[in-house]
Structure 1
Amino acid sequence: MSRRIRRIAAWVTGAVIVGGLALVGVGVWQVLAPGTATASGPERRVVERVAEQLPAAPAAPPTRLEIPALDFEAPVATMSSEGQSILNPPTASDAYWLSDFGKPGVGTDNTVYVIGHASADQRAVFDPLVDRAAGRSSVLPGDEIIVRTETGAVVYEVVSTERREQSALAEWELLWSNVPGRLVLITCLFDATGSTVSDNVVVFARQQESSAEAVPST
Structure 2
Amino acid sequence: MTAERHDDAPGSGRSRRADRLLPLLIAASLAGAALLGRSALGPHPGRAAPAGVDMNGRPVQLDPGAGPAPQQRQQQDAKPEGAGRFVVPSVGLDVPLGTMNEVAGSVVPPGFASAFLIVNLGAPTSPATGTVYVAMHSLRWGAVGPGNYLFAPETGTSKVAPGAAVLAGGVRYVVDGATAVPKAELPDADAIWADVPGRLVVLTCLERPDNSPAVDNFVIVAHLDPSGGDPR
What's the TM-score once normalised by structure 2's chain length?
A: 0.65
Displacement of 1:30 in angstroms is 4.4
Name the CA shift for 1:187/1:208 in 2 (closer, same or farther; >3 Å): same
The separation in 1 between residues aligned to 2:195 and 2:31, in whole angstroms, is 33
Q: Tell me the residue number matched to 2:21.
A: 6
Q: Percent identity?
A: 24
Name the CA shift for 1:181/1:198 in 2 (closer, same or farther; >3 Å): same
Q: Tell me the residue number matched to 2:109.
A: 89
Structure 1 residue corresponding to 2:84, chosen from 63, 66, 76: 63
Q: Deviations over 1:133-192 (max 9, x none)?
A: 1212211111111123xxxx3211101111111111111110000111100101011111
Q: Deviations over 1:39-85 (max 9, x none)?
A: xxxxxxxxxxxxxxxxxxxxxx8421111111110111101125x47
Equivalent pair of 2:117/2:135 in contact (CA under 8 Å): yes
The separation in 1 between residues aligned to 2:177 and 2:144, in whole angstroms, is 26
The letter of the residue matching 2:138 is A
Structure 2 residue 231 is matched with structure 1 residue 197 = no
Q: Tell me the residue number matched to 2:166.
A: 145
The separation in 2 between residues aligned to 1:85 and 1:165, in whole angstroms, is 16
Query: Which structure is higher in RCO with an 8 Å CA cutoff and minimum separation 6?
Result: 1
Q: Tell me the residue number matched to 1:27.
A: 28
Q: Tell me the residue number matched to 1:54.
A: none
SS where residue 173 of structure 2 aligns?
strand
Gapped runs of 5+ residues in structure 1?
A: 13-24, 37-60, 213-218
Q: Tell me the residue number matched to 1:73.
A: 94
The letter of the residue matching 2:143 is Q
Structure 2 residue corresponding to 1:136, chosen from 154, 157, 160: 157
Question: How many positions carry a matched residue from both structures?
Answer: 167
The letter of the residue matching 2:216 is D
The letter of the residue matching 1:156 is Y
The separation in 2 between residues aligned to 1:116 and 1:205, in whole angstroms, is 16
Q: What does residue range 39-188 of structure 1 map to in structure 2 within 5 Å?
A: 62-81=83-102, 84=104, 87-100=107-120, 101-103=122-124, 108-120=128-140, 121-148=142-169, 153-188=170-205
The separation in 1 between residues aligned to 2:221 and 2:107, in whole angstroms, is 22
Gapped runs of 5+ residues in structure 2?
A: 1-16, 38-81
